[in-house]
Amino acid sequence: MLHQEIVVENQRLAREADIYRLVLKGTVADTAQPGQFVHIKVGSTLDPLLRRPISVAGINRPNGEITLFYRVAGRGTRLLAGVRPGESLSLLGPVGKGFTLPTAGELLLVAGGIGIFPLFALVEAVDRSQVKVKMLWGGANRDFLEAVGRETLFQMGVDYAVASLDGSMGQPGLVTDLLASELNKKGVLVPETGEGNLLGSDAGCPEDWGRKAGFSVAACGPRGMLRAVTELCIQAGAPVEVSLEERMACGVGACLGCVCTVRTTDGALERKRVCQDGPVFDGREVVWDEKD
Amino acid sequence: MKKIDLTTRLGPLELKNPVLTSSGTYGFGEEYRAFFELSRLGAITVKGITPLPRLGNPPPRVAETPAGMLNAVGLQNPGVEAFLTTYLPRLEKLNTPIIVNISGFSLDDYGLLASMMPDHSCIAALEVNISCPNIKEGGLAFGTDPKSAEQVLAVTRKNTKLPLIAKLSPNVTDIVPLAKAVANGGADIISLINTLLGMRIDLDTGRPVLGNIMGGLSGPAVLPVAVRMVYQVYKAVSLPIIGMGGISCWQDAVEFMLAGASAISVGTANFINPLAPLEIISGLEEYCRRKGYNRVGELVGLAHR
C-alpha cells in the first residue's frame, strides 16, 4: 500500500498555467484501476500535514507508469509542482473503488472541467471493440479545453462533444445540456412527471434498468454537475456512476473524515467513506442535499 | 546488542510496549492491516462507541491547519450492539490488546456501555471519553466539570471490572482538578489530550469550512500543549498516564515519557505515515540503548527531577 515512486515527468500543461501532468514510475501501475486515486505526501515536513488525493488518469502497466493531473490550488499542490524528474514521492495506494467496466453496449462519459482526467483512464481500460464510448465534456472556454485534453481525446480516437460556458468552443452552455440532447436523441429521456424530485426516490429503477437502457453513464466533475447528470440519468432510466470528491485525511477508511451521505436500498441513511467505499458511487444512492 | 525491556505497566494493564494508536484515527484496526502486523502494537484504541448507532456530522468533516488538522466527525459509529456482534469478533483476530473508547450522553449511557463490554475477550481496557468536542450534548460537557467527570467514572467503575482509562479534554483552564476528579471516580489510568476546539473559515465562501462549524485540532501543532498537560497531571496525580497529542516520531514519544507518560498513543500521524507507530517503537528502543537504560519505563517522568 505504501510506495516510493520515481517522478518521470512533472510538467505544466501548455497555456493552462496551473494544471500539471505528473508521471510516476513504480508498482502502483500494476494494480491501479480507472476511478481509483493515489494519496501523495507533498513536501518533506509536517506542514502542510496531510497527503493529497489525486485520481489516476493513465495506467501504463508495461512501463510501470501512472499519469496524474492536478491543479495547483494551494500550498500542497504548489509544493508538488516543484518536484523534479528523478526525485521520488511517497504514495499510498491505489485507493478506492473505481468505475465499473462495461463489456458491451454503450458507455457515455460526462466530464466537467478537470473531471475529465479520471475518465481518460476509463476510456483506456474499456474494450472499445465491444463497447461504444462517447465523451461529453464541458469547460470554461476554448483555451481551457484545448490545453487540458482535446489533444488527448483526439489521440485516443474517442468520439466526443464539447460545451463551453462562453461559447468559444463546441456547444455554448453546460455539459449537462450536451447530455440532455444526447439522451433526447436516443429517445430515452422521459418528460418530468411534475411529481417533484426523482433523486433519492425509487421511481423507475427496477433490477434490469441498465440492461433495458442498453447504455450506462460515468461522470466526474463538480458536485452540482454530478447531481444534474444523475437526475437526467434517472429520467432516462440509465445506470450512472459518479466520482465524488471530499476533503480527506487518512485515505484508508479509518478516520471517517471524507464521508458522503447515501440512501441504502432499504431507505436508511448511511454515511460512506469516499476514500474506500468510493470515490465512485452509484449516482442514485447519493443524497445530494446534504443535511445533518 | 542489548535487549531493552519495553513492557509497560499501566496500573492493572500490562502491555508489551508503550506505543498505542488513538481512538478515532485507527478505525477498528483492520484499516491498517495492509501495512504491518498489528500485533506489534502495544494496543489499539478503537473508534468511540455509543449506545445507539450514529450517523455523525455532515461533511466537510476535516480541514487542514498549520502543521495540523481539524476534525468534526461527530462520533459516527455502528452502536454498541453492532460493535459487539460484528466488530469485536474481527478484533479478536488481530491478536492485539484492544481498548474500547466509550462515549455517552448521560450517566446511564456510560453505565450501560460499561456493563455490555465482556470481561474475557480481546478488550484490555475501556477508555472513557468525556472529552469529545464534536457533539452538542454530553461529551465535552462531562469533561470540563470535575464533578460530572467524577460521576461518569464512578458509574462506569460500578459496571465493569475492566481497567478504566479516563480521556481528558484540553479545553479547560486547569487540567489538574479534572485529573483528580477522575482519579476519585475510580479511573485506573489517565489519557490525554483529546483535541483542542478550533475552527477555520473558507475565504472563497466566507463560511466556516467544517459542516459542524467547529472541530477538534490535532497533529504536530498541539504537541507542546499536550506535553505541558502531561507534565502537570504527572505532578498532581499518581495514576499512570497515556500521553498523546501530535506525536509523529520517536523523539516526540520520548518527550512525552520524560514529561510523565508511561505509554504514548499515535493518532493523526497514522494518516500521513501508517508506519509511524513501528518507527516509534524501534526509535524508543534505540534511544534507551544509547542512553544506557534497560527498561523504557525508566524514562517516565525524568523531566521532573
The domain that holds B218 is classified in CATH as: 3.20.20.70
- Say yes or no: A116 and A84 in one domain: no
- Say yes or no: A75 and A109 in one domain: no
| Contact residues, A window 155-194, toward B, CB-based 8 Å cutoff | none
Predicted pLDDT of residue A185: 82
Check pLDDT > 70 for residue A212: no
CA distance B185 to B131: 16
Residue B207 distance to chain A (closest CA, Å)? 16
Choosing from A66, A95, A124, the residue where a domain stops is A95
Interface test with B, best of A244, A245, A256, A261 (most B CBs within 10 A): A256
Which residue range forms the structural domain that includes residue A53?
2-95
Check pLDDT > 60 for residue B166: yes
Helix B107-116 to helix B146-158 angle, to the nearest 10 degrees? 30
* Residues on chain A touching B248 (C-beta within 8 angstroms): 46
- Say yes or no: A123 and A26 in one domain: no
What's the mean pLDDT when you consider all of chain A?
89
User: Comparing A155 with B232, which gets the higher pLDDT?
Assistant: B232
Instruction: Answer yes or no: is A74 within a domain.
Output: yes
Predicted pLDDT of residue A194: 44
* Residues on chain B touching A261 (C-beta within 8 angstroms): 55, 58-59
Check pLDDT > 60 for residue A119: yes
Mark yes or no for CB contact B71/A257 under 8 Å.
yes
Which of B258, B250, B261, B260 minimizes the C-alpha distance to B286?
A: B250
* Residues on chain A touching B59 (C-beta within 8 angstroms): 246-247, 258-261, 290
- Give the number of C-alpha atoms closer than 13 A to the C-alpha of residue B181, restricted to the C-beta side: 21
Check pLDDT > 70 for residue A228: yes
- Say yes or no: A126 and A49 in one domain: no
Check pLDDT > 70 for residue A139: yes
Choosing from A95, A113, A141, the residue where a domain stops is A95
Interface test with A, best of B26, B31, B134 (most A CBs within 10 A): B31
Tell me the average pLDDT across B288-299: 97
Instruction: Answer yes or no: is B254 within a domain.
Output: yes
Predicted pLDDT of residue A177: 95
Complete DSSP assignment for B159-173: T--S-EEEEPPS-SS
Instruction: Answer yes or no: is A250 within a domain.
Output: no
Which of B111, B116, B191 minimizes the C-alpha distance to B156?
A: B111
Does the model's ipTM exceed the 0.90 cut? yes
CA distance A215 to A237: 10
The domain that holds A215 is classified in CATH as: 3.40.50.80
Predicted pLDDT of residue B208: 97
- Say yes or no: A229 and A181 in one domain: yes
Predicted pLDDT of residue A203: 47
Mark yes or no for CB contact B31/A254 under 8 Å.
yes
- B64: Cβ contacts below 8 Å, ≥ 6 apart: A48, A49, A50, A76, B70
Mark yes or no for CB contact A247/B60 under 8 Å.
yes
| Number of domains observed in the structure of chain A | 2
Instruction: Answer yes or no: is A281 within a domain.
Output: no
Interface test with B, best of A31, A42, A255 (most B CBs within 10 A): A255
Check pLDDT > 60 for residue B169: yes
Tell me the average pLDDT across A125-135: 94
B122 is catalytic: no
- Burial, A143: exposed, middle or buried (Cβ in 10 Å; 0-12, 13-18, 19+)? middle
Instruction: Answer yes or no: is B1 within a domain.
Output: no
pLDDT digits (tens, 9 = 90+) for B229-277: 999 999 999 999 999 999 999 999 999 999 999 999 999 999 999 999 9
Predicted pLDDT of residue B52: 96
Band of residue B187 on the pLDDT scale cut at 50, 70, 90: very high
The domain that holds A58 is classified in CATH as: 2.40.30.10
pLDDT digits (tens, 9 = 90+) for A49-99: 999 999 999 999 999 999 999 999 899 999 999 999 999 999 999 999 999
- Say yes or no: A222 and A134 in one domain: yes
B126 pairs with which residues across the strands? B100, B164
Which residue range forms the structural domain that includes residue B57?
8-304
Predicted pLDDT of residue A16: 63
Tell me the average pLDDT across B213-229: 97
* Residues on chain B touching A48 (C-beta within 8 angstroms): 64
Residue B158 distance to chain A (closest CA, Å)? 31
pLDDT digits (tens, 9 = 90+) for B48-106: 999 999 999 999 999 999 999 999 999 999 999 999 999 999 999 999 999 999 999 99
Mark yes or no for CB contact B272/A46 under 8 Å.
yes
- Say yes or no: A88 and A204 in one domain: no
What's the mean pLDDT when you consider all of chain B?
95
